[in-house]
Structure 1
Amino acid sequence: MLKPVFLLSASILVLPLFLTHAKAQNLEPQNKPSLDQRIDGPKRGNLTSAFDEKHKTCLERIAENSDLAYEEAMIWRSEGGGRRAKHCEAMALFALGHADEAAHRLDQLAQASDGGSPEMRANFYLEASNFWLAAENSYKAYASAKAGLDIDETRTDLRIARARAYVMRERYEYAETDLTYALKFEPQNVAALRYRADARFRQNKFDAALKDIELALTLAPESVETALLRGRIKEARRGASN
Protein backbone atom coordinates (compact mmCIF):
# COMPACT_ATOMS: atom_id res chain seq x y z
CA MET A 1 0.00 0.00 0.00
CA LEU A 2 1.34 3.45 -0.89
CA LYS A 3 2.01 5.63 2.12
CA PRO A 4 4.25 8.61 1.23
CA VAL A 5 1.62 11.35 1.25
CA PHE A 6 -1.02 10.38 3.76
CA LEU A 7 1.39 9.10 6.41
CA LEU A 8 3.47 12.24 6.68
CA SER A 9 5.35 12.54 9.94
CA ALA A 10 3.28 14.77 12.18
CA SER A 11 6.37 15.55 14.24
CA ILE A 12 7.63 18.12 11.73
CA LEU A 13 4.48 20.17 12.39
CA VAL A 14 4.35 19.72 16.15
CA LEU A 15 5.51 23.10 17.40
CA PRO A 16 3.57 25.19 14.84
CA LEU A 17 0.47 23.14 15.67
CA PHE A 18 0.93 23.74 19.38
CA LEU A 19 1.46 27.47 19.03
CA THR A 20 -1.44 27.86 16.61
CA HIS A 21 -3.65 26.09 19.12
CA ALA A 22 -2.48 28.29 21.95
CA LYS A 23 -2.96 31.48 19.95
CA ALA A 24 -6.29 30.61 18.35
CA GLN A 25 -8.11 29.48 21.45
CA ASN A 26 -9.14 31.68 24.33
CA LEU A 27 -8.95 28.97 26.98
CA GLU A 28 -10.48 30.04 30.25
CA PRO A 29 -8.46 29.27 33.38
CA GLN A 30 -9.58 26.14 35.20
CA ASN A 31 -9.43 27.37 38.80
CA LYS A 32 -10.55 25.50 41.85
CA PRO A 33 -14.08 26.71 42.73
CA SER A 34 -13.03 28.29 46.00
CA LEU A 35 -10.35 30.34 44.27
CA ASP A 36 -12.58 31.24 41.34
CA GLN A 37 -15.26 32.53 43.69
CA ARG A 38 -12.82 35.00 45.25
CA ILE A 39 -11.63 36.58 41.97
CA ASP A 40 -13.23 39.80 40.81
CA GLY A 41 -13.52 40.88 37.15
CA PRO A 42 -10.15 42.66 36.61
CA LYS A 43 -8.24 40.04 38.55
CA ARG A 44 -9.96 37.27 36.61
CA GLY A 45 -8.82 38.90 33.37
CA ASN A 46 -5.25 39.07 34.63
CA LEU A 47 -5.40 35.42 35.65
CA THR A 48 -6.66 34.46 32.21
CA SER A 49 -3.70 36.25 30.61
CA ALA A 50 -1.32 34.54 33.01
CA PHE A 51 -2.77 31.12 32.17
CA ASP A 52 -2.54 31.88 28.44
CA GLU A 53 1.11 32.87 28.79
CA LYS A 54 1.94 29.79 30.85
CA HIS A 55 0.22 27.59 28.26
CA LYS A 56 2.28 29.17 25.47
CA THR A 57 5.49 28.78 27.47
CA CYS A 58 4.67 25.15 28.19
CA LEU A 59 4.13 24.40 24.52
CA GLU A 60 7.31 26.19 23.49
CA ARG A 61 9.30 24.22 26.06
CA ILE A 62 8.33 20.97 24.31
CA ALA A 63 10.69 21.82 21.44
CA GLU A 64 13.50 22.50 23.90
CA ASN A 65 13.02 19.68 26.41
CA SER A 66 10.00 17.41 26.02
CA ASP A 67 10.64 15.48 29.23
CA LEU A 68 10.78 18.66 31.29
CA ALA A 69 7.71 20.07 29.55
CA TYR A 70 5.77 16.92 30.39
CA GLU A 71 6.81 17.00 34.03
CA GLU A 72 5.95 20.69 34.36
CA ALA A 73 2.58 20.14 32.69
CA MET A 74 1.75 17.35 35.15
CA ILE A 75 2.63 19.58 38.09
CA TRP A 76 0.61 22.43 36.61
CA ARG A 77 -2.39 20.15 36.13
CA SER A 78 -2.21 19.03 39.76
CA GLU A 79 -2.20 22.70 40.78
CA GLY A 80 -5.38 23.50 38.84
CA GLY A 81 -4.04 24.24 35.37
CA GLY A 82 -7.13 22.68 33.84
CA ARG A 83 -7.49 22.15 30.12
CA ARG A 84 -4.38 24.12 29.24
CA ALA A 85 -2.20 21.90 31.41
CA LYS A 86 -3.89 18.75 30.11
CA HIS A 87 -3.41 19.95 26.55
CA CYS A 88 0.29 20.67 27.05
CA GLU A 89 0.72 17.32 28.77
CA ALA A 90 -0.78 15.52 25.77
CA MET A 91 1.37 17.47 23.33
CA ALA A 92 4.51 16.65 25.29
CA LEU A 93 3.56 12.97 25.22
CA PHE A 94 3.32 13.13 21.45
CA ALA A 95 6.73 14.76 21.19
CA LEU A 96 8.11 11.98 23.39
CA GLY A 97 6.87 9.39 20.90
CA HIS A 98 3.62 8.36 22.57
CA ALA A 99 1.24 9.37 19.78
CA ASP A 100 -1.51 6.94 20.78
CA GLU A 101 -1.60 8.03 24.42
CA ALA A 102 -1.50 11.69 23.39
CA ALA A 103 -4.41 11.15 21.01
CA HIS A 104 -6.39 9.31 23.68
CA ARG A 105 -5.94 12.16 26.14
CA LEU A 106 -7.01 14.75 23.58
CA ASP A 107 -10.15 12.74 22.84
CA GLN A 108 -10.86 12.66 26.57
CA LEU A 109 -10.25 16.40 26.85
CA ALA A 110 -12.66 17.09 23.99
CA GLN A 111 -15.34 15.06 25.79
CA ALA A 112 -14.67 16.39 29.29
CA SER A 113 -16.91 18.78 31.19
CA ASP A 114 -14.08 21.32 31.14
CA GLY A 115 -13.38 20.80 27.43
CA GLY A 116 -14.37 24.36 26.63
CA SER A 117 -16.36 25.86 23.78
CA PRO A 118 -17.47 23.86 20.72
CA GLU A 119 -14.57 25.35 18.75
CA MET A 120 -12.07 24.25 21.39
CA ARG A 121 -13.51 20.74 21.47
CA ALA A 122 -13.35 20.52 17.67
CA ASN A 123 -9.70 21.58 17.83
CA PHE A 124 -8.91 18.89 20.38
CA TYR A 125 -10.59 16.30 18.15
CA LEU A 126 -8.54 17.52 15.19
CA GLU A 127 -5.29 17.13 17.09
CA ALA A 128 -6.40 13.73 18.35
CA SER A 129 -7.20 12.60 14.81
CA ASN A 130 -3.82 13.75 13.51
CA PHE A 131 -2.05 11.95 16.35
CA TRP A 132 -4.03 8.74 15.74
CA LEU A 133 -2.90 9.01 12.12
CA ALA A 134 0.69 9.32 13.28
CA ALA A 135 0.10 6.17 15.34
CA GLU A 136 -1.34 4.54 12.18
CA ASN A 137 -4.67 3.86 13.87
CA SER A 138 -7.06 4.79 11.07
CA TYR A 139 -10.23 3.75 12.87
CA LYS A 140 -9.65 5.98 15.87
CA ALA A 141 -8.41 8.77 13.60
CA TYR A 142 -11.68 8.53 11.71
CA ALA A 143 -13.71 8.54 14.94
CA SER A 144 -11.96 11.65 16.26
CA ALA A 145 -12.35 13.53 12.98
CA LYS A 146 -16.01 12.55 12.75
CA ALA A 147 -16.63 13.72 16.31
CA GLY A 148 -15.11 17.07 15.41
CA LEU A 149 -17.22 17.34 12.27
CA ASP A 150 -20.31 16.55 14.31
CA ILE A 151 -19.52 19.79 16.14
CA ASP A 152 -18.71 21.81 13.00
CA GLU A 153 -19.21 20.17 9.62
CA THR A 154 -17.64 23.11 7.77
CA ARG A 155 -14.14 22.54 9.19
CA THR A 156 -11.80 21.91 6.26
CA ASP A 157 -8.99 20.67 8.50
CA LEU A 158 -11.23 18.02 10.04
CA ARG A 159 -12.37 16.84 6.61
CA ILE A 160 -8.74 16.51 5.57
CA ALA A 161 -8.02 14.46 8.69
CA ARG A 162 -10.99 12.19 8.01
CA ALA A 163 -9.94 11.82 4.37
CA ARG A 164 -6.48 10.72 5.49
CA ALA A 165 -8.10 8.11 7.71
CA TYR A 166 -10.17 6.91 4.76
CA VAL A 167 -7.03 6.52 2.64
CA MET A 168 -5.33 4.48 5.33
CA ARG A 169 -8.34 2.16 5.11
CA GLU A 170 -8.07 2.18 1.29
CA ARG A 171 -11.45 3.89 0.93
CA TYR A 172 -10.18 6.28 -1.68
CA GLU A 173 -13.54 7.36 -3.08
CA TYR A 174 -14.72 8.46 0.37
CA ALA A 175 -11.50 10.40 0.84
CA GLU A 176 -11.95 12.12 -2.51
CA THR A 177 -15.52 13.08 -1.59
CA ASP A 178 -14.44 14.64 1.72
CA LEU A 179 -11.63 16.56 0.06
CA THR A 180 -13.86 17.79 -2.75
CA TYR A 181 -16.29 19.10 -0.13
CA ALA A 182 -13.43 20.83 1.70
CA LEU A 183 -12.19 22.45 -1.51
CA LYS A 184 -15.62 23.98 -2.14
CA PHE A 185 -14.98 26.15 0.91
CA GLU A 186 -11.23 26.61 0.39
CA PRO A 187 -10.44 26.04 -3.31
CA GLN A 188 -6.79 26.97 -2.84
CA ASN A 189 -6.10 24.81 0.18
CA VAL A 190 -2.79 23.22 -0.80
CA ALA A 191 -3.05 20.29 1.61
CA ALA A 192 -6.55 19.40 0.39
CA LEU A 193 -5.41 19.62 -3.23
CA ARG A 194 -2.38 17.43 -2.59
CA TYR A 195 -4.34 14.84 -0.64
CA ARG A 196 -7.10 14.74 -3.26
CA ALA A 197 -4.46 14.32 -5.96
CA ASP A 198 -3.11 11.37 -4.02
CA ALA A 199 -6.59 9.86 -3.52
CA ARG A 200 -7.30 10.21 -7.24
CA PHE A 201 -3.89 8.80 -8.11
CA ARG A 202 -4.68 5.69 -6.07
CA GLN A 203 -7.87 5.28 -8.10
CA ASN A 204 -5.90 5.61 -11.37
CA LYS A 205 -7.58 8.95 -12.12
CA PHE A 206 -4.30 10.29 -13.42
CA ASP A 207 -5.54 13.31 -15.37
CA ALA A 208 -7.66 14.60 -12.48
CA ALA A 209 -4.84 13.89 -10.03
CA LEU A 210 -2.36 15.78 -12.20
CA LYS A 211 -4.68 18.78 -12.39
CA ASP A 212 -4.88 18.93 -8.60
CA ILE A 213 -1.18 18.50 -8.04
CA GLU A 214 -0.24 21.11 -10.63
CA LEU A 215 -2.45 23.67 -8.89
CA ALA A 216 -1.04 22.69 -5.50
CA LEU A 217 2.49 23.14 -6.81
CA THR A 218 1.61 26.52 -8.31
CA LEU A 219 0.31 27.64 -4.92
CA ALA A 220 3.25 26.14 -3.00
CA PRO A 221 6.17 25.80 -5.43
CA GLU A 222 8.64 25.07 -2.62
CA SER A 223 6.83 21.90 -1.52
CA VAL A 224 9.05 18.87 -2.03
CA GLU A 225 6.20 16.50 -1.17
CA THR A 226 4.00 17.99 -3.86
CA ALA A 227 6.75 17.84 -6.46
CA LEU A 228 7.48 14.21 -5.65
CA LEU A 229 3.81 13.27 -5.92
CA ARG A 230 3.58 15.05 -9.28
CA GLY A 231 6.50 12.94 -10.48
CA ARG A 232 4.78 9.72 -9.43
CA ILE A 233 1.52 10.76 -11.08
CA LYS A 234 3.24 11.65 -14.36
CA GLU A 235 5.18 8.40 -14.37
CA ALA A 236 2.02 6.37 -13.72
CA ARG A 237 0.14 8.22 -16.46
CA ARG A 238 2.93 7.54 -18.95
CA GLY A 239 2.91 3.88 -17.99
CA ALA A 240 -0.85 3.65 -18.41
CA SER A 241 -0.71 5.18 -21.89
CA ASN A 242 1.91 2.73 -23.16
Structure 2
Amino acid sequence: MLWSRLAFPLLPMLMAAAPAAAQKFETPLNPAADHTKRYDACLKQARSDPLKALPMAEKWHADGGGLAARHCVAVAMFQAGRYVQAAAQFEAIARDMGQDRPRVRAELWAQAGQAYMEVGGAEKAAEAQGRALELNGHDADLWLERALSYAAMQAWPRAISDLDQALRLRPNDVEILVLRAAAWRNAGNPTRALDDANRALKIASDHSEALLERGFAHLARGERAQAIADFDSVLRLVPPDSKAARRAEAGKRGEPPGAQPSAPAPPPKPGGNR
Protein backbone atom coordinates (compact mmCIF):
# COMPACT_ATOMS: atom_id res chain seq x y z
CA MET A 1 0.00 0.00 0.00
CA LEU A 2 2.76 2.44 0.86
CA TRP A 3 4.55 1.81 -2.41
CA SER A 4 1.36 2.31 -4.37
CA ARG A 5 0.74 5.68 -2.73
CA LEU A 6 4.19 6.95 -3.65
CA ALA A 7 4.13 5.33 -7.08
CA PHE A 8 0.92 7.16 -7.94
CA PRO A 9 1.92 9.72 -10.62
CA LEU A 10 0.30 13.03 -9.74
CA LEU A 11 1.72 15.11 -12.57
CA PRO A 12 -1.32 15.22 -14.90
CA MET A 13 -3.56 16.23 -12.01
CA LEU A 14 -1.05 18.64 -10.51
CA MET A 15 -0.76 20.35 -13.86
CA ALA A 16 -4.52 20.57 -14.17
CA ALA A 17 -4.66 22.00 -10.66
CA ALA A 18 -2.20 24.76 -11.50
CA PRO A 19 -2.92 26.18 -14.96
CA ALA A 20 -0.33 28.91 -14.58
CA ALA A 21 2.35 26.34 -13.86
CA ALA A 22 1.20 24.27 -16.82
CA GLN A 23 1.41 27.25 -19.14
CA LYS A 24 4.94 27.92 -17.96
CA PHE A 25 6.06 24.64 -19.51
CA GLU A 26 4.15 25.03 -22.77
CA THR A 27 7.14 26.60 -24.54
CA PRO A 28 9.27 25.42 -27.47
CA LEU A 29 12.27 25.14 -25.15
CA ASN A 30 10.50 23.11 -22.52
CA PRO A 31 7.26 21.60 -23.84
CA ALA A 32 4.81 19.82 -21.59
CA ALA A 33 5.99 16.44 -22.90
CA ASP A 34 9.52 17.20 -21.72
CA HIS A 35 8.13 18.29 -18.37
CA THR A 36 6.30 14.99 -18.03
CA LYS A 37 9.48 13.08 -18.86
CA ARG A 38 11.39 15.11 -16.29
CA TYR A 39 8.82 14.37 -13.61
CA ASP A 40 8.82 10.65 -14.39
CA ALA A 41 12.63 10.59 -14.39
CA CYS A 42 12.71 12.52 -11.13
CA LEU A 43 10.37 10.07 -9.40
CA LYS A 44 12.37 7.12 -10.72
CA GLN A 45 15.57 8.65 -9.38
CA ALA A 46 13.89 9.47 -6.07
CA ARG A 47 13.04 5.81 -5.57
CA SER A 48 16.37 4.39 -6.70
CA ASP A 49 18.80 6.98 -5.30
CA PRO A 50 16.93 9.53 -3.17
CA LEU A 51 20.03 11.27 -1.83
CA LYS A 52 21.08 12.05 -5.39
CA ALA A 53 17.55 12.89 -6.51
CA LEU A 54 16.84 15.35 -3.69
CA PRO A 55 19.20 18.18 -4.73
CA MET A 56 18.21 17.66 -8.36
CA ALA A 57 14.52 17.96 -7.48
CA GLU A 58 15.18 21.01 -5.31
CA LYS A 59 17.06 22.68 -8.17
CA TRP A 60 14.23 21.84 -10.54
CA HIS A 61 11.83 23.51 -8.09
CA ALA A 62 14.07 26.58 -7.86
CA ASP A 63 14.08 26.73 -11.67
CA GLY A 64 10.28 26.86 -11.77
CA GLY A 65 9.29 23.21 -11.61
CA GLY A 66 6.20 24.04 -9.60
CA LEU A 67 4.04 21.48 -7.87
CA ALA A 68 5.48 18.57 -9.81
CA ALA A 69 9.01 19.39 -8.64
CA ARG A 70 7.80 19.84 -5.07
CA HIS A 71 6.11 16.45 -5.17
CA CYS A 72 9.33 14.85 -6.37
CA VAL A 73 11.19 16.59 -3.53
CA ALA A 74 8.71 15.11 -1.04
CA VAL A 75 9.02 11.60 -2.49
CA ALA A 76 12.83 11.84 -2.40
CA MET A 77 12.68 12.97 1.24
CA PHE A 78 10.47 10.00 2.08
CA GLN A 79 12.74 7.52 0.33
CA ALA A 80 15.76 9.06 2.07
CA GLY A 81 14.15 8.43 5.46
CA ARG A 82 13.31 12.08 6.13
CA TYR A 83 9.76 11.16 6.93
CA VAL A 84 8.65 14.15 8.99
CA GLN A 85 9.97 16.58 6.38
CA ALA A 86 8.31 14.55 3.63
CA ALA A 87 5.00 14.64 5.49
CA ALA A 88 5.26 18.41 5.85
CA GLN A 89 5.96 18.72 2.12
CA PHE A 90 3.00 16.56 1.13
CA GLU A 91 0.74 18.59 3.43
CA ALA A 92 2.06 21.91 2.12
CA ILE A 93 1.42 20.92 -1.50
CA ALA A 94 -2.12 19.86 -0.61
CA ARG A 95 -2.77 23.19 1.12
CA ASP A 96 -1.22 25.26 -1.64
CA MET A 97 -3.57 23.70 -4.18
CA GLY A 98 -6.44 25.60 -2.57
CA GLN A 99 -9.80 24.09 -3.40
CA ASP A 100 -8.69 22.49 -6.65
CA ARG A 101 -8.63 18.76 -7.40
CA PRO A 102 -9.97 17.23 -4.16
CA ARG A 103 -8.95 13.69 -5.12
CA VAL A 104 -5.35 14.78 -5.69
CA ARG A 105 -5.30 16.64 -2.39
CA ALA A 106 -6.71 13.54 -0.73
CA GLU A 107 -3.85 11.50 -2.19
CA LEU A 108 -1.29 14.00 -0.87
CA TRP A 109 -2.80 13.95 2.63
CA ALA A 110 -2.74 10.13 2.48
CA GLN A 111 0.95 10.19 1.54
CA ALA A 112 1.57 12.52 4.49
CA GLY A 113 -0.21 10.04 6.73
CA GLN A 114 1.99 7.20 5.58
CA ALA A 115 5.09 9.28 6.18
CA TYR A 116 3.98 9.96 9.75
CA MET A 117 3.36 6.26 10.31
CA GLU A 118 6.97 5.53 9.37
CA VAL A 119 8.09 7.43 12.49
CA GLY A 120 5.37 6.05 14.74
CA GLY A 121 3.28 9.20 14.53
CA ALA A 122 -0.06 7.43 14.51
CA GLU A 123 -2.01 10.43 15.83
CA LYS A 124 -0.65 12.77 13.17
CA ALA A 125 -1.16 10.07 10.57
CA ALA A 126 -4.81 9.69 11.56
CA GLU A 127 -5.27 13.47 11.36
CA ALA A 128 -3.79 13.59 7.86
CA GLN A 129 -5.83 10.58 6.77
CA GLY A 130 -8.92 12.27 8.17
CA ARG A 131 -8.24 15.26 5.92
CA ALA A 132 -7.92 12.84 3.01
CA LEU A 133 -11.23 11.20 3.84
CA GLU A 134 -12.97 14.57 3.99
CA LEU A 135 -11.94 15.02 0.37
CA ASN A 136 -12.48 11.47 -0.85
CA GLY A 137 -14.61 9.23 1.30
CA HIS A 138 -15.09 6.69 -1.48
CA ASP A 139 -11.58 5.25 -1.29
CA ALA A 140 -11.59 2.02 0.72
CA ASP A 141 -7.81 2.15 1.09
CA LEU A 142 -8.03 5.50 2.88
CA TRP A 143 -10.44 4.06 5.44
CA LEU A 144 -8.16 1.05 5.82
CA GLU A 145 -5.07 3.21 6.33
CA ARG A 146 -6.70 5.31 9.03
CA ALA A 147 -7.97 2.14 10.69
CA LEU A 148 -4.38 0.91 10.90
CA SER A 149 -3.35 4.24 12.44
CA TYR A 150 -6.09 3.87 15.05
CA ALA A 151 -4.98 0.28 15.63
CA ALA A 152 -1.45 1.54 16.31
CA MET A 153 -3.03 3.80 18.94
CA GLN A 154 -5.07 0.82 20.22
CA ALA A 155 -8.18 2.89 19.57
CA TRP A 156 -10.14 -0.22 18.64
CA PRO A 157 -13.68 1.20 18.34
CA ARG A 158 -12.40 3.85 15.93
CA ALA A 159 -10.45 1.25 13.98
CA ILE A 160 -13.54 -0.96 13.71
CA SER A 161 -15.66 1.98 12.56
CA ASP A 162 -13.20 2.76 9.75
CA LEU A 163 -13.00 -0.90 8.75
CA ASP A 164 -16.80 -0.93 8.59
CA GLN A 165 -16.58 1.87 6.05
CA ALA A 166 -13.88 0.06 4.07
CA LEU A 167 -16.04 -3.06 3.94
CA ARG A 168 -19.04 -1.04 2.83
CA LEU A 169 -16.99 -0.11 -0.22
CA ARG A 170 -15.36 -3.53 -0.68
CA PRO A 171 -17.71 -6.00 1.03
CA ASN A 172 -15.86 -9.18 0.01
CA ASP A 173 -12.33 -8.02 0.74
CA VAL A 174 -10.73 -10.81 2.74
CA GLU A 175 -7.86 -8.68 4.03
CA ILE A 176 -10.21 -6.09 5.48
CA LEU A 177 -12.34 -8.80 7.09
CA VAL A 178 -9.25 -10.30 8.70
CA LEU A 179 -8.16 -6.91 10.01
CA ARG A 180 -11.59 -6.26 11.46
CA ALA A 181 -11.54 -9.69 13.08
CA ALA A 182 -8.23 -8.74 14.71
CA ALA A 183 -9.69 -5.42 15.82
CA TRP A 184 -12.73 -7.11 17.36
CA ARG A 185 -10.42 -9.58 19.10
CA ASN A 186 -8.35 -6.75 20.57
CA ALA A 187 -11.52 -4.91 21.55
CA GLY A 188 -12.45 -7.92 23.68
CA ASN A 189 -15.23 -9.30 21.49
CA PRO A 190 -14.09 -12.73 20.21
CA THR A 191 -17.57 -13.60 18.99
CA ARG A 192 -17.58 -10.74 16.50
CA ALA A 193 -13.98 -11.65 15.61
CA LEU A 194 -15.13 -15.22 14.91
CA ASP A 195 -17.94 -13.95 12.68
CA ASP A 196 -15.52 -11.92 10.54
CA ALA A 197 -12.96 -14.73 10.35
CA ASN A 198 -15.65 -17.18 9.25
CA ARG A 199 -16.89 -14.71 6.66
CA ALA A 200 -13.36 -14.34 5.30
CA LEU A 201 -12.87 -18.09 5.16
CA LYS A 202 -16.08 -18.54 3.16
CA ILE A 203 -14.43 -16.39 0.50
CA ALA A 204 -10.89 -17.85 0.82
CA SER A 205 -10.90 -21.15 2.69
CA ASP A 206 -7.09 -21.46 2.87
CA HIS A 207 -6.32 -17.91 3.97
CA SER A 208 -3.71 -18.37 6.70
CA GLU A 209 -4.33 -15.04 8.47
CA ALA A 210 -8.09 -15.69 8.56
CA LEU A 211 -7.42 -19.14 10.02
CA LEU A 212 -5.14 -17.59 12.63
CA GLU A 213 -7.78 -15.07 13.62
CA ARG A 214 -10.43 -17.75 13.84
CA GLY A 215 -8.09 -19.85 15.94
CA PHE A 216 -7.44 -17.02 18.37
CA ALA A 217 -11.15 -16.19 18.50
CA HIS A 218 -11.90 -19.82 19.39
CA LEU A 219 -9.13 -19.71 21.99
CA ALA A 220 -10.58 -16.59 23.60
CA ARG A 221 -13.98 -18.28 23.72
CA GLY A 222 -12.51 -21.33 25.47
CA GLU A 223 -12.94 -23.54 22.40
CA ARG A 224 -9.48 -25.07 22.48
CA ALA A 225 -10.10 -28.03 20.17
CA GLN A 226 -11.43 -25.81 17.39
CA ALA A 227 -8.56 -23.39 17.92
CA ILE A 228 -5.91 -26.11 17.62
CA ALA A 229 -7.57 -27.40 14.44
CA ASP A 230 -7.25 -23.94 12.89
CA PHE A 231 -3.65 -23.54 14.02
CA ASP A 232 -2.79 -26.95 12.57
CA SER A 233 -4.35 -25.86 9.27
CA VAL A 234 -2.13 -22.78 9.28
CA LEU A 235 0.98 -24.90 9.90
CA ARG A 236 0.13 -27.02 6.87
CA LEU A 237 -0.18 -23.93 4.69
CA VAL A 238 2.78 -21.71 5.61
CA PRO A 239 6.58 -22.16 5.73
CA PRO A 240 7.75 -23.51 9.10
CA ASP A 241 9.93 -20.50 9.88
CA SER A 242 7.34 -17.87 8.95
CA LYS A 243 5.70 -15.38 11.29
CA ALA A 244 2.35 -17.09 10.72
CA ALA A 245 3.84 -20.43 11.75
CA ARG A 246 5.27 -18.92 14.93
CA ARG A 247 1.91 -17.39 15.79
CA ALA A 248 0.16 -20.72 15.16
CA GLU A 249 2.63 -22.56 17.39
CA ALA A 250 2.11 -19.95 20.11
CA GLY A 251 -1.65 -20.38 19.75
CA LYS A 252 -1.35 -24.13 20.16
CA ARG A 253 0.49 -23.47 23.43
CA GLY A 254 -2.40 -21.29 24.52
CA GLU A 255 -0.44 -18.05 24.32
CA PRO A 256 -2.37 -14.91 23.38
CA PRO A 257 -1.52 -13.23 20.08
CA GLY A 258 0.15 -9.87 19.79
CA ALA A 259 -2.20 -6.92 19.99
CA GLN A 260 -1.33 -5.32 16.70
CA PRO A 261 -3.02 -6.44 13.49
CA SER A 262 -0.81 -6.56 10.42
CA ALA A 263 -1.25 -4.40 7.35
CA PRO A 264 -2.16 -6.28 4.20
CA ALA A 265 0.69 -7.00 1.86
CA PRO A 266 1.46 -4.17 -0.59
CA PRO A 267 0.59 -4.62 -4.24
CA PRO A 268 3.29 -5.38 -6.79
CA LYS A 269 5.70 -2.55 -7.49
CA PRO A 270 5.31 -1.95 -11.23
CA GLY A 271 4.15 1.53 -12.03
CA GLY A 272 0.40 0.90 -11.99
CA ASN A 273 -2.00 2.82 -9.79
CA ARG A 274 -3.63 1.46 -6.68
C-alpha contact (below 8 Å) 1:22/1:52 kept by paired residues: no
Aligned to 1:231: 212
Aligned to 1:17: 5
Shift of the 57–227 alpha-carbon distance from structure 1 to 2, 3 Å rule, reads farther
C-alpha displacement of 1:39:
4.4
The separation in 2 between residues aligned to 1:69 and 1:171, in whole angstroms, is 38
Shift of the 65–17 alpha-carbon distance from structure 1 to 2, 3 Å rule, reads same
| 2:137 partner SS | coil
The gaps in structure 2 that reach 5 residues or longer are 225-274
Cα deviation per residue 1:26-53 (whole Å; 9 max; x = unaligned)? 320798969937948xx7xx93333333
C-alpha contact (below 8 Å) 2:11/2:36 kept by paired residues: no
TM-score normalised to structure 2 length: 0.68
Cα deviation per residue 1:98-130 (whole Å; 9 max; x = unaligned)? 222211211111111478511110110111112
TM-score normalised to structure 1 length: 0.75
Superposition CA RMSD, Å: 3.5
Shift of the 165–230 alpha-carbon distance from structure 1 to 2, 3 Å rule, reads same
Shift of the 193–86 alpha-carbon distance from structure 1 to 2, 3 Å rule, reads farther
If asked which structure has higher relative contact order (CA below 8 Å, sep 6+), I would say: 2
The separation in 2 between residues aligned to 1:208 and 1:112, in whole angstroms, is 44
Cα deviation per residue 1:56-107 (whole Å; 9 max; x = unaligned)? 2222223321111212211111111111111111111111112222112111
Aligned to 1:132: 116
| 1:85 partner SS | helix
Aligned partner letter, 2:57: A
Aligned to 2:155: 171
Aligned partner letter, 1:227: S
The alignment status of 1:189 with 2:177, answered yes or no, reads no
Relative to structure 2, which stretch is displaced further, 131-140 or 112-121? 112-121
Aligned to 1:63: 47
Aligned partner letter, 1:27: L
C-alpha contact (below 8 Å) 2:10/2:68 kept by paired residues: no
Shift of the 66–191 alpha-carbon distance from structure 1 to 2, 3 Å rule, reads farther
Aligned to 1:4: none
The separation in 2 between residues aligned to 1:34 and 1:162, in whole angstroms, is 32
| 1:136 partner SS | coil
Aligned to 2:271: none
C-alpha displacement of 1:161:
2.1
| 2:154 partner SS | coil
The alignment status of 1:82 with 2:66, answered yes or no, reads yes
Aligned partner letter, 2:170: E
C-alpha contact (below 8 Å) 1:82/1:114 kept by paired residues: no
Aligned to 1:7: none
Shift of the 35–163 alpha-carbon distance from structure 1 to 2, 3 Å rule, reads closer
C-alpha displacement of 1:206:
3.0
C-alpha contact (below 8 Å) 1:213/1:230 kept by paired residues: yes
In percent, how many aligned pairs have the same letter?
A: 23
The separation in 1 between residues aligned to 2:42 and 2:218, in whole angstroms, is 48
The gaps in structure 1 that reach 5 residues or longer are 1-9
Shift of the 133–57 alpha-carbon distance from structure 1 to 2, 3 Å rule, reads same
Equivalent in 189, 192, 197 of residue 208 of structure 1 = 192
- For these two proteins, the number of residue pairs brought into alignment is 223
C-alpha contact (below 8 Å) 2:11/2:68 kept by paired residues: no
Aligned to 1:5: none
